[in-house]
Structure 1
């Protein structure tokens, strides 16, 4: 497939996280810093001009949100507004003698984490001892009114949202008010309005909301500025005391440049004609166009929130068979900025918002948030749609979705492919010469991806094998046999998928032989793979793990059988053979016999003693538990450090590195769909870049056994995966492995 010849233009579609600063706002900031820089508390003319700017902005804010007689307090942003509101409400409760677990603090289960964490913080600091409860939501993200009604009589503070930052779901504030005031007229009520301004109408004076925080950087103003609405008569205790600014409600000299930016934004929101902000009707039109482009690329796309429950500027979707990282990496390589709407964790990231809505786990793990701002233009929308539609060729050529793409458009697949889901590993062994594939230890979360890859290339499936009966997860073999029925050779097999009455499997240059290796489980086998008569790989399942061993204390585990199997493998394996496990808790990708013995000295005892092995069983189990605690899914944040590479260099040092090592090879370790969406050669046009995705890193290690002194510069999207690859290569004996700091993100 033809690679892009120009750098992808950045298409920013993550406006719920932050927005660019509008030109008019930036101009206002510059003007204020240089021309209207006075301190609003000063009594001279320069200060008076600043004070007028401040109060004009306050009045505009009051008008926009329908504040009535409520106070508008300028803050550093939403977090300060949330803190001030919760602190004030809880201090009021404490002064009123309402303490202890009989009293509750309510918040919506889909609230931004700033809310429950602030509730916990101030409840502890003020020693209130109240019970903090999350209000459940339904599948649409709407709050459970029955739950609220039951809890309100003992509630001190209820916190809800106007619009959700991940899903765009908006709550019916009028209906909430009717419920809240009908049951508990005096309860304090905070509404997070960060995602509301410019996207939905607000008339706070018509509601009995006590506190409403707003943030400037979510609506085209700079970071570090926001404001808080406080209803007249609501208890309020300043967090900051000192100079008495903001009528004593928030001391500290006001951020006048930020406030001037807010003024420019507010003026655009107020005017009817010629505003940069679009009508709600136009925003829905943009949403439909973007959604149409997304569905063209991903026909199976599922929306996680939809009309009529949302503001139009958020599209939250999942695609069957895709983790959120897959789509984010694809989009980012093409210059399209979206988010998963949730932070990475040690496992596949999930959205707590979608979990609270009761959506299936695959949707939560695969959720993508595309968010645009209310100032999007026709041109912006057209560019975004074109950039998204351009990915259709990429996903087709990489077989991420099934298509009628011709074979000449497909990204080549050959040799060993290692696919991961959390700490689980699945493998494809592909013979390009015969267009055949053998699948080993397939797991259900990867079944769709495996099937698409095989169907897209029309590979004949020689066999679908398991190394053992997996205790912690179901095998995907039955499902793959159904999906790939037209491509699988019909044959009688044993319980692990090995063809009956066959001692070895032949596929092109590969020869596979099974060896019984009970211990972890009685039926377990290891599969030895030779290529052109040279032993290259051994699929060892959970018998041996990179850095540990499989559990021996589960049902079917046998420590004597393990000892016998270990000795048998010791005789069968060759020094260069790479051992491939079905779990990789420590992100080591593979191990070798010599590495295994270095990292696990206890195994030497197993090999060299005839004594009863019970005395080392506890040590093996301790290692297994340690590995499981290290479990980390490779989702963009991995446990790596600069020392994993020979050196970490920045982009300005690349030329010097090439001069120092004229034979330097640059490896792009991003996945094929990322490479196809944004080739590294676009950013490094004068150097030769080799495409070595992490999924074929083990294949590359096997192929480069004789070239371990070769100098390598590894590059990925952010610099994390390349550091992980550096760690793997270092462990394999490669001597000069450099990492590009910041990866493609900083090259771009």
Structure 2
């Protein structure tokens, strides 16, 4: 097959995030190099070298017209889709203002699932040009299509309508014909902008046959380099240049043209226009690839739910969620195996969800767990097969680590002894396992993690001894109620789940005792954890937080009781005893009594027995701040400014590992470690300890790490290892290095 059939890359990864960007087509890369080194003329020059450049530029424009069916109107080369959107919005808004349509009664409409570049551009230029119109989203249906009835109701006041051809997250293909009929029937003089970034090469576009006024495109979404794009402007549509100067592009967009980028577009357009032996697949082939990829995904996640599906989508996008999984779980798993997909939501410590799926009205768990797998129209059968094999290979890893319920042999499932810390947003839940007795206790479960706990308990064949809450407010904990159905024995329990007949819970070498600690709530207990008769930790709910004190203004709160409970706790624990809370707003994971006193000056007078009036006012002020910040916060936490650690660049790693007797801590989760061993990425041989972030506190609890030990922390991106380093620094560890960029920059 000819060279243009191949992508210009040599990777050991499976790249399935083509809606974000694509590798450069080999023929396009060759055209860029040829233009940069040989055909490098300035199209504005009048000599032969310049003339040849001008001819090449116009040839590309002609190909674009053929491809889009745009025999009329303008094709203007830009730096990308964002510039095209800005230019279109400015042109339309200036025309709207000239027609006297400025003011809040005039509507600027955009689809609720549009790329943020569109509404943000509308907001910016609406203010800057002092049009001061009202910007309003057009609702979408549950399938992602625009609600045409809602659009029709808004159109009488609309001056500009912005929609998209295909959605970047879901792949939903809008019915442009139906949208056009509604717009031109109700408001024929409204300007219409259609974001076509995800459409080229994936769906037919005959722009001249429509009344679309503006259509921006981007090169790097279709195997071109970044920094090149083009804009279609319908003949007769108002146009105002965003960039003026030397008069290039017929005065429509000044600045010397990006001729290498335009040469790449020429190569891509040539491939798209081929009727046979093209690098680009026919639509039926793309649907076949999608079916194969979906089958592979279902071997890993049988409960997978599609968030968009045929017949409403282009075939190159798969957007799915898996019950019981957050997007970050799957993203980390895939990335460790060298499979590049993206999340439908921003990956951070705070679960935010996908605004696109939220606009479609889908359940919150689907929004928070959405994964986008996108392949390009130049995918080959071999690439599809490799992707399917790599994805299917993760089924064993998922079963091994109890990520989904399975009947697999329990011997294949690790059941390490000790404490596991789970987090959902700022909520903390804990699982204590005794591998010898095959028993477990869950503390402070939250509902989004309940299915994960069920999978672990049933998948490992554990006997669940108790499901404990540290405190309750006005209602029962639904997660705890659900999980108590798994208890090994149906014994009587108090409201917090403690077995009434027991004064101590024993799991092999672990002992758990409870003390009443009201104050934050009138139904509150703390649980003291001993290992081989030595006190190691305390689970205190929201009595004390990593960096703060629980509030007393919620239902059942009592400042006097809070003081008494804190005093009681301080008399029972050691200064270095690990203290676990049910919330962690500053990503600190754990604290100790001595650390809490150092970080929270208010705690010392409370423990000293100071009169209530001396600290009650401060506590109330903290509660007021919390109420203003969020109704869900249960205590005040301030992030310490002393969390800085030493950062290591990947290029420095060989020297550091050769010079320092470093222990490398792989703080990725076990399923990531199974999917891709860290030793495969390190430039030199080193001692590696697999210590997931969820097990970090257990390692400290069991003295598996020494505070003077030199440690290099590594994760996928450098973020979790940074958190781990901060936790260890606060616990007294002094020789800490963090690999900046993590495994991502080593791969």
> Is the TM-score greater than 0.5?
yes
- Secondary structure of the equivalent of 1:463? strand
* Partner of residue 436 from structure 1, selected from 439, 444, 448: 439
Q: How much does 1:670 deviate? A: 0.6
Q: Which residue of the partner structure matches residue 696 of structure 1?
A: 695
Q: Structure 1 residues 271 and 182, CA, compared in 2 at 3 Å: closer, same or farther?
A: same
Q: Which residue of the partner structure matches residue 4 of structure 1?
A: none
Q: How does 1:105-504 map to 2 (within 5 A)?
A: 105-344=108-347, 347-470=350-473, 474-482=477-485, 484=486, 488-504=488-504
- Secondary structure of the equivalent of 2:536? strand
- Secondary structure of the equivalent of 2:194? strand
Q: CA RMSD in A?
A: 2.0
Q: Structure 1 residues 720 and 628, CA, compared in 2 at 3 Å: closer, same or farther?
A: farther
Whole-angstrom CA distance in 1 between matches of 2:11 and 2:460: 28
CA contact (8 A) 1:75 1:226 kept: yes
CA contact (8 A) 2:317 2:375 kept: yes
Deviations 1:208-263 (A, max 9, x none): 00000000000000000000000000000001111111111101111000000000
- Secondary structure of the equivalent of 2:239? coil
- Secondary structure of the equivalent of 2:161? strand
CA contact (8 A) 1:333 1:675 kept: yes
Deviations 1:577-624 (A, max 9, x none): 11110000111111111111111121111122342x144133234456
Q: How much does 1:139 deviate? A: 0.3
Q: Structure 1 residues 240 and 339, CA, compared in 2 at 3 Å: closer, same or farther?
A: same
Is 2:740 aligned against 1:741?
yes
Q: How does 1:85-96 map to 2 (within 5 A)?
A: 85-96=88-99
Whole-angstrom CA distance in 2 between matches of 1:431 and 1:125: 64
Return structure 1 stretches of 4+ with deviation > 4 angstroms: 470-473, 621-631, 639-643
Q: Structure 1 residues 134 and 446, CA, compared in 2 at 3 Å: closer, same or farther?
A: same
Q: Which residue of the partner structure matches residue 508 of structure 1?
A: 508
Q: How much does 1:148 deviate? A: 1.2
Q: Structure 1 residues 337 and 396, CA, compared in 2 at 3 Å: closer, same or farther?
A: same
Unaligned runs of 5+ in 2: 1-9, 633-637
Q: How does 1:68-83 map to 2 (within 5 A)?
A: 68-83=71-86
Whole-angstrom CA distance in 2 between matches of 1:473 and 1:206: 61
Q: Structure 1 residues 496 and 27, CA, compared in 2 at 3 Å: closer, same or farther?
A: same
Whole-angstrom CA distance in 1 between matches of 2:337 and 2:164: 33
Whole-angstrom CA distance in 2 between matches of 1:525 and 1:53: 77
Count of residue correspondences: 731
Q: Structure 1 residues 127 and 344, CA, compared in 2 at 3 Å: closer, same or farther?
A: farther
Q: Which residue of the partner structure matches residue 528 of structure 2?
A: 528
CA contact (8 A) 2:474 2:555 kept: no
After the TM superposition, which of the residue ranges 197-206 and 697-706 deviates more from structure 2?
Answer: 697-706
Q: Structure 1 residues 191 and 658, CA, compared in 2 at 3 Å: closer, same or farther?
A: closer
- Secondary structure of the equivalent of 1:560? helix
Q: How much does 1:655 deviate? A: 3.9
Whole-angstrom CA distance in 1 between matches of 2:421 and 2:706: 22
Q: Structure 1 residues 407 and 509, CA, compared in 2 at 3 Å: closer, same or farther?
A: same
Q: How much does 1:640 deviate? A: 9.9
Q: Which residue of the partner structure matches residue 673 of structure 2?
A: 675
CA contact (8 A) 2:427 2:583 kept: yes
CA contact (8 A) 2:327 2:344 kept: no
Is 2:664 aligned against 1:661?
no
Whole-angstrom CA distance in 1 between matches of 2:450 and 2:476: 13
Q: Structure 1 residues 105 and 473, CA, compared in 2 at 3 Å: closer, same or farther?
A: farther
Whole-angstrom CA distance in 1 between matches of 2:698 and 2:704: 10
- Secondary structure of the equivalent of 1:551? coil
Q: Structure 1 residues 518 and 501, CA, compared in 2 at 3 Å: closer, same or farther?
A: same
Whole-angstrom CA distance in 2 between matches of 1:135 and 1:517: 51
CA contact (8 A) 1:13 1:336 kept: yes
Whole-angstrom CA distance in 2 between matches of 1:549 and 1:335: 43
Whole-angstrom CA distance in 2 between matches of 1:652 and 1:73: 42
CA contact (8 A) 2:669 2:693 kept: yes
Is 2:712 aligned against 1:709?
no
Unaligned runs of 5+ in 1: 1-6, 634-638
Q: Structure 1 residues 640 and 223, CA, compared in 2 at 3 Å: closer, same or farther?
A: farther
Whole-angstrom CA distance in 2 between matches of 1:114 and 1:107: 11
Whole-angstrom CA distance in 1 between matches of 2:229 and 2:343: 25
Q: Structure 1 residues 472 and 733, CA, compared in 2 at 3 Å: closer, same or farther?
A: farther
CA contact (8 A) 2:138 2:147 kept: yes
- Could you tell me the TM-score, scaled by structure 2's length? 0.95
Q: How much does 1:466 deviate? A: 0.7
Deviations 1:54-109 (A, max 9, x none): 00000100111111211100000000000000000000111111110010000000
Q: How does 1:476-625 map to 2 (within 5 A)?
A: 476-482=479-485, 484=486, 488-611=488-611, 613-623=612-622
Q: How much does 1:642 deviate? A: 12
CA contact (8 A) 1:416 1:428 kept: yes
